Amino acid sequence: MNTAQHVQALNQQAQPLHDTVLARLTEKFGDAVLGSRIDYDFPVFEIKREAICDVLKFLKDDEQLNFHFLTTACGLHFPDHHGREMGMMYQLHNWPANTRIRILVHFPDQDAVMPTITTIWPAANWMEREAYDFFGIIFKGHPNLKRILNMEDITFFPLRKEFPLEDPTREDKDDTMFGR
Amino acid sequence: MSNHDIGKLAEPEEKVYTTLNLGPTHPATHGIFQNVLKMDGEIIVEAEPTIGYIHRAFEKLAERRPYNQVTPITDRLNYCSSPINNMGWHMTVEKLIGAELPKRVEYMRVVVMELARIADHIICNSVIGVDTGAMTGFLYIFQWREKIYDIYEQICGARLTTNIGRIGGFERNFSDKVWSLIDDFVRDFPKGLTEFSNLLERNRIFMDRTINAGPVSQKMALEYSFTGPNLRAAGIDHDVRVMNPYSSYQDFDFTIPIGTQGDVYDRFMVRQQEMWESLSIIKQALKNIDRKSPVFSGDVPEFVLPEKAEVYNNMEALIYHFKIVMGETEVPAGEVYHSVEGGNGELGYYLISDGGRTPYRLHMRRPCFIYYQAYPEIIKGSMLSDAILTMSSMNVIAGELDA
């Protein structure tokens, strides 16, 4: 089986779920749903930053959709995407129906502020602290927003793409041919 | 507060709390965990965990490494069951490229992963014994962990941080020695596990010590995104192996043990029962593996290193060999999430590929990073010695917590 067929097969499996969730979200939130796609077996929905709390709360509490479990959340950085450099990814899981979706929010790096979802899932507390620690995303309303894995006195956000992995002043190594 | 006036009891507002630094190097914390506790006598009023002492920036490191070089990073997440982490990563990349593996390889993986689960649970459960003051079980059952490590060693040459298998299969076929070690283990381990069970499971002192210590309700477990044995001890039968079967887990017949009140004893018993289930899965896999077959990897030439003889005599093989060694394998662009049931919960890899030689972004869903944040709430109001016990029964592994 080649990759394209494999991806297509997974996409087809996720299509009905994608359609259902998209219909419910657009019906309820209209313009706040900026786009949707299917990545492998995951329906992905891009949501407006201002509406993210309401959307997640709706997805959690709605009896039909019932995405009650927050699997994971993490920050993203795409420096080439102008005006939407930063992002947050949330992954939700409905256990009884065994359906999973991914929610994306994008925003500019000059304005890296997100509403907190710790009021919806306490589990988001450390996930958001991690996103703040590594990407510098400020979570408004977070009960304890401080660095979690790095030292408290560092001034940079290491998982942003502009932060070099190696000492940039090093001269003994040439990475023009290999490496990113 | 003055000690002269013995008849006068302290008023609530002038109550004196003690601040206690538990960790980072206290031996009972089993790793580098720090908790600043606010104590009222021996009762914990508040706890503030500090983590990150062995943070090694795996997610950043992965952005500079070719796909097959990310595997050694995953070893160092939950280092009590490295093979599960390795296999989880292999399967994530296989999902990205759309590789299909032969049944034999998938069953071999199941055998290795279940051995790893047993080793993980042995460590956790025997350490609960140690924390209650029962060293004996720990000393006896650790020899079985040694035997599992001997099997790893025969398969891949390493014992703890295994880097076992490759994207697309295994690095080599299992030798006769491997099969005989696995057979010996499957034959003899029930005796060892029964002996360990007899020492602790119905031991009055152990039960009195662990029942009702550090309970986690179902509601709390769901709100804090618990997964793995800790969740199942609270009475929710969620297991990734059953919900989203990978590596042919749907072919195996096993039950998900659950507890009732999610206390230390339930977590202990869930793990005990899971070891028996793992053993049964290994037996079923062994029954269905053709030991003489030469197949140990799928048709994934971009990632499986070709035989040396092939490299010398076949142009294609030479090209693939060069590309794999130089880390120039092409992968499709895309976003993929894959999760496996690790030793302590749902271990997931969220991989964004832009088609380059390394992951563009790799996020690891590390189960104990997520559930450890509930620890202050669980131990609030309990005794200090129960807090130690709760921590060891939650199977928090520093390597995974700090990534």
Nearest CA distance, B18 vs chain A (angstrom): 23
Minimum distance, in Å, between the CA of residue A24 and any CA atom of chain B:
24
User: Within 10 A of B3 (CB to CB), how many other CB atoms are there?
Assistant: 5
* Nearest one of A2, A73, A84 to B350, comparing CA atoms: A73
Q: State mean pLDDT over A160-170.
A: 79
For residue B151, give how far its alpha carbon lies from the nearest alpha carbon of chain A (Å): 33
Closest CB to A39: pick one of B51, B100, B335: B335
What pLDDT score was predicted for residue B31? 79
For A32, other C-beta atoms within 10 Å of its C-beta total 18
Residues of chain B in contact with residue A1, where contact means CB-CB under 8 angstroms, are: 98, 100
CB contact under 8 A, B365 and A159: no
Select from B50, B58, B77, B223 the residue whose CB has the most chain A CBs within 10 Å, as the one to mutate to test that interface: B223
Distance of CA B283 to the CA centre of its chain: 21
**C-beta of residue B74 within 8 angstroms of C-beta of residue B366:** no
Tens digit of each residue's pLDDT (9 = 90 or more) over B87-105? 999 999 999 999 999 999 9
**Smallest Cβ distance to A149: which of B223, B238, B402?**
B402
Task: Give the pLDDT confidence score for residue A163 in this predicted structure.
Answer: 87
The string of pLDDT tens digits covering residues B219-274 is 999 999 999 999 999 999 999 999 999 999 999 999 999 999 999 999 999 999 99
Q: Could you read off the pLDDT of B274-323 as tens digits, one per residue?
A: 999 999 999 999 999 999 999 999 999 999 999 999 999 999 999 999 99
Per-residue pLDDT tens digits for A120-151: 999 999 999 999 999 999 999 999 999 999 99
Give the dihedral sign, CA B328/B331/B334/B340: negative
Say whether pLDDT at B16 is over 90. no
Residue of B nearest to A117 (CA): B223
Q: Are the Cβ atoms of B373 and A123 closer than 8 angstroms?
A: yes
Q: Give the pLDDT of residue B1.
A: 44
Q: Does residue A5 surpass a pLDDT of 60?
A: yes
pLDDT of residue B12: 64
Contacts of A159 in chain B (CB under 8 A): 59-60
| Joined tokens for residue A38 | 């299917």
Mean pLDDT of all residues belonging to chain A: 90
- Is the confidence at residue A114, as pLDDT, over 90? yes
Cis peptide upstream of residue A164 (ω within 30 degrees of 0): no
DSSP string of B43-66, one letter each residue: EEEEEEEE--TT---HHHHHTTS-
Cβ neighbours of residue A104 closer than 8 Å, sequence gap 6 or more: A44, A45, A46, A47, A76, A87, A88, A89, A90
What's phi and psi for A79, nearest 5 deg?
Answer: -60, -20
For residue B226, the chain A residue with the least C-alpha distance is: A123
Packing angle of the helix pair B103-131, B384-393 (nearest 10 deg):
170
Q: How far is B98 from chain A (nearest CA, A)?
A: 5
What pLDDT, on a 0 to 100 scale, did the predictor assign at position B329?
86
Tens digits of residue pLDDT in B168-210 = 999 999 999 999 999 999 999 999 999 999 999 999 999 999 9
Verify whether the Cβ–Cβ distance A165 to B61 is below 8 Å: yes
d(CA B343, CA A119): 29
Mutation target vs A (from B36, B337, B364, B368; most A CBs, 10 A cutoff): B337
Domain ranges of chain A: 3-140
**To which residue do tokens 């142009």 refer?**
B315
| pLDDT tens digits, B375-398 | 999 999 999 989 999 999 999 999
Q: Considering only the beta carbons, identify the residue of B60, B64, B98 that sits closest to A3.
A: B98
pTM of structure: 0.93
Q: Kindly list the residues from chain B whose CB atom is less than 8 angstroms away from the CB atom of residue A158.
A: 57, 60
Average pLDDT over residues A89-111: 94
Please indicate whether, in this complex, the C-beta atoms of B98 and A1 are within 8 angstroms of each other. Answer: yes
Number of other residues whose CB lies within 10 A of the CB of residue B322: 11
Reported ipTM: the value is 0.92
Query: Alpha-carbon distance A135 to A129, whole Å?
Result: 10
Q: Is the pLDDT confidence value at A92 over 50? A: yes
Q: How many helices (H) and strands (E) does chain B have?
A: 17, 6
Residue A12, min C-alpha distance to chain B (Å): 15
Q: At what angle do helices B103-131 and B135-156 cross, to 10 degrees?
A: 160
Contact B402 A125 (CB under 8 A): no
Contact B98 A6 (CB under 8 A): yes
The domains located in chain B, with CATH, are 72-402 (1.10.645.10)
CB B402 within 8 A of CB B245: no
Contact list, A142 vs chain B (CB under 8 Å): none
- The confidence score (pLDDT) of residue B7 equals 55
Q: Does domain A3-140 match CATH 3.30.390.30?
A: no
At A153 the three-state DSSP class reads coil
